[in-house]
A and B are shown apart, each in its own frame.
Chain A
Amino acid sequence: MYLEKSDIILLLGIDLNEKNELVFFADTPVFNTDAKKKDHHIKVTAKSLREARYRFDSLSPGSIVKGKIQTILIGKKLLQNRAVLPYLDVILRDPKDDLNSRVIFIDGPVEDIFNANMSDKGRLSAVIRNMIDTSFYSGIITNPNLQQYVAQQLDTRFTPMVPAMKVIHNEPKITGMALLSHKGFYVTTLNLSESPLALSIQAFFTDKIPLSMNITSDKIHAKKELKRISIQIKKIKRKVDTRIVNGHYQFDVQLTLYADLVERMFFLDAEKHADLQNKIIEEQLDKEYNNLIRKIQQKKIDPIGFGVYARAFKYDQWKKIKGEWFDQYAKAKINIRTKLILINTGVSH
């Protein structure tokens, strides 16, 4: 088969339109030299992904190839109303399809992404994938692939976390991590300063994480807008103590962060008060971690995966509460204590 005659779907979008009908979007690169545009956007309404494929075929100048999907975009409206997993079955079932495609939540209609300004960036499908991959390498977000997303969605111990994107003034932008419930509905979004925090407690996926925070401590005397510190975490040691107190779970998390100090916007005589610097950062981190935990506990979702510890270390209790971990999780007590070890402070103290 000639490459010019095949339409390779690199980007797939699923959403609901205003009439609550399922809409599928596809972006395929155009290799034909006569064509003026570099990629071909297709939009169809269909009841399922397989049906959508036939519709794609009828709109495509070549034959549709779906084994190379790089990214799957899921619209906010769809995730507010339905779980997306059944619609992906056709991809999971076919051994020719790639499980390494990334899953992205779109905060708004998926159509916006397809209408976004790409004249100064390149091919839409490559741009979106690159944006997600580079943010992942810098440690701000995770980028679960399709298999990981499905695994998280079906797991009874934690809930999925997928990167979130939004189109602002016609420009696509990564806005953080979208948190979904166990049933697959959209719950809330962690912004770009919260998602690295969440990732640093989560033990499973990544280790190199940048954190940037406002110091609220009174021990520092500086203008409010200058009380900022940024660190780059190199390595994290997590010690989670799982206990049962009064019939509820209690997690004592001891995080040891090995980090570089990369930015401090106020003056502090760190040579004399080395402890003070560590202490204010630790205090600040404790505060932010606890805010984050409270936020997700209220929503009864567990993207960090405390359920993994709950089952691994207190299986008897886990058996008792079987099936309703997320209700139990909301009642659990979670203490996070941070210890910071600065490895490198650059060329100044």
Chain B
Amino acid sequence: MQKKTPLSFGQYIFIIYKTQIGIGVLTLPHDLFQISGIDGWIAVIFGWIISLIIGFFIVNTLEKHPDETLYDLLPKYFGKWLGKGILFCWIIYTLYAASYVFMYTVYLIKVWVLPNTSPILLGILFIVPIFQITVRGLPMISRYAELTFLVTIWMYPIILITAHYGMWFNLLPIVKDGWMPIFKSTPTTALSFLGFELIYLLYPHLKNKKQAYKGMFIANTMTAIVLLLVTILSYVRLSEAELSYAIWPTLDLIKLIRFPFLERLEIIFISAYIIILFMTIIPYLYMALSGTSQLIQRSSLKKYALVGILFLWIILLYSPIIGFQPIIYFKKWFANLGLIFAFAFPVLLWLYSKVFLALRKGQVKG
């Protein structure tokens, strides 16, 4: 068993919250608009409720084993080989998530800020801080999460400036075409809520276990507020035609903010957004790494695995993966994998654990 580094309540919230806020926020208004039109913002509320329920299942599953992460639980529940198989799937998922967000960050910076710079150069610059933070493990990540929260706290309130010339009548009538399109678009919000599955890893480290539910609730709610803010303001300020063709409505929204002393706020915003995106990459990468060391039962290999992954990312940047089509295509994959691992899996594991524990109890008694 690893030595546990204690995690304060605040750190627990910030890690979850800042992992959730990532690439989803930038594109969500467009994705929702495609399916449910102007009523898309209501889907965020449904997404929030579902995330809370899933979060409840996750914490409830772990409550029975307060000192064990998901990775310790899997072999216990499913036996050695099946447990390792599921563990392997989790490593693939978290690694995919980290890699995808990394590629997305490079692409985003390339399109919006540095169009003439080689993506490889950007990648090399990005992996340095990622390596430095990930290699020091959870204590460093939790501190980075706190820092991220403080440094980027100005970023979402600043969008409120755009509300000034907004047309609030755009939102009326609420639920104009019935509830069906809204329900249909609810899975789309999943991508933006991904990140609470980190509780599987964080829970054993949390100092006061009673606050796990509360922390999960606060983190999910903060994310939901940011998503609602961005979605509603986009719908109020941008026209329907723009929403249907703009890839990053949130950034278009920020582009409209103009101060007498500053013409292009979005450049500063996106540059600062790298900090937030790193905070999505790093926890997933860490989760993949600790899964790997669990799988091969050797934690000394962690560092080499990390270096290997980062080098692989740089090599991937040589291929034409940094382009519009692949980024859109792989996003669907990420969203679908997220639905399986972060939404379906916790429910199944919770049910399984109930049955499993009941059976074992019966065996002991018998």
Contact = CB atoms under 8 A, between A and B. Distances in A.
Contacts of A95: 111-112, 251, 255, 266
Contact of A309 (B169, B240, B241, B258): B169
Contacts of B111: 95
A147 B258 CA distance: 13
A313 B173 contact: yes
A94 to B, nearest CB: 9
Contact of B240 (A98, A155, A204): A155
A313 B165 contact: no
A154 B242 contact: yes
B252 A99 contact: yes
A313 B111 CA distance: 40
A204 B239 contact: no
Contact of B239 (A68, A98, A151, A313): A151
Contacts of A277: none
B13 interface: no
Contacts of B239: 150-152, 154-155
Interface string A56-68: 0000000000001
Contact of A308 (B112, B169, B238, B256): B169
Interface string A304-345: 000011011101000000000000000000000000000000
Interface in A275-325: 308-309, 311-313, 315
B265 to A, nearest CB: 10
Contacts of B266: 95
Interface in B133-167: 165, 167
A308 B241 CA distance: 15
A327 B130 CA distance: 59
B172 interface: yes
Given A315-B173, A315-B176, A148 B165 contact: yes
Nearest to B111: A95
B354 interface: no
A145 interface: yes
A138 interface: no
B115 interface: yes
A98 to B, nearest CB: 6
Contacts of A309: 169
Contacts of B172: 311-313
Most buried by A among B169, B170, B241, B252: B169
Interface string B250-275: 01100110100001101000000000
A312 B238 contact: no
Contacts of B263: 68, 98, 100
Interface residues of B, number: 23
A100 B241 contact: no
Contact of B241 (A99, A154, A205, A312): A154
A314 to B, nearest CB: 9
Contacts of A169: none
B238 A151 contact: yes
A204 B256 contact: no
A96 interface: yes
A151 B169 contact: no
Given A155-B239, A315-B176, A308 B255 contact: no
A251 to B, nearest CB: 13
A98 B165 contact: no
Contact of A204 (B165, B241, B242, B264): B165
A145 B256 contact: yes
Interface in B221-246: 238-242
A95 B241 CA distance: 18
B327 to A, nearest CB: 15
A100 B115 CA distance: 21
Given A154-B241, A154-B242, A100 B167 contact: no
Interface string A147-178: 11011101110000000000000000000000
A8 to B, nearest CB: 12
Interface in A205-235: 205
Given A204-B165, A205-B165, A308-B167, A155 B241 contact: yes
A150 B238 CA distance: 10
Contacts of A313: 172-173
B192 to A, nearest CB: 22
Interface in B100-133: 111-112, 115
A180 B266 CA distance: 31
B236 to A, nearest CB: 10
A151 B112 CA distance: 22
Contacts of A315: 173, 176
A37 B232 CA distance: 49
A28 to B, nearest CB: 17
B256 A147 contact: yes
A36 to B, nearest CB: 29
A312 B165 contact: no
Nearest to A68: B263
B163 to A, nearest CB: 12
Nearest to B173: A315
A267 to B, nearest CB: 42
Interface string B51-77: 000000000000000000000000000
Contacts of A308: 167, 169-170
A300 B211 CA distance: 62
A99 B169 contact: no
A312 B38 CA distance: 11
A150 B242 contact: yes
A95 B258 CA distance: 15
A100 B165 contact: no
A145 B263 CA distance: 13
B173 A100 contact: no
A308 B112 CA distance: 33
A98 B263 CA distance: 8
Contact of A96 (B115, B170, B252): B115
Nearest to B167: A204
5 A-B pairs closest in CB distance: A154-B241, A151-B239, A312-B172, A312-B169, A315-B173
12 contacts: A68-B263, A95-B266, A147-B256, A150-B241, A151-B239, A151-B241, A152-B239, A154-B242, A308-B170, A312-B173, A315-B173, A315-B176
Interface of A: 68, 95-96, 98-100, 145, 147-148, 150-152, 154-156, 204-205, 308-309, 311-313, 315
Given A95-B255, A98-B264, A150-B241, 9 more contacts: A95-B111, A147-B242, A148-B165, A152-B239, A154-B240, A154-B241, A204-B165, A311-B172, A313-B173
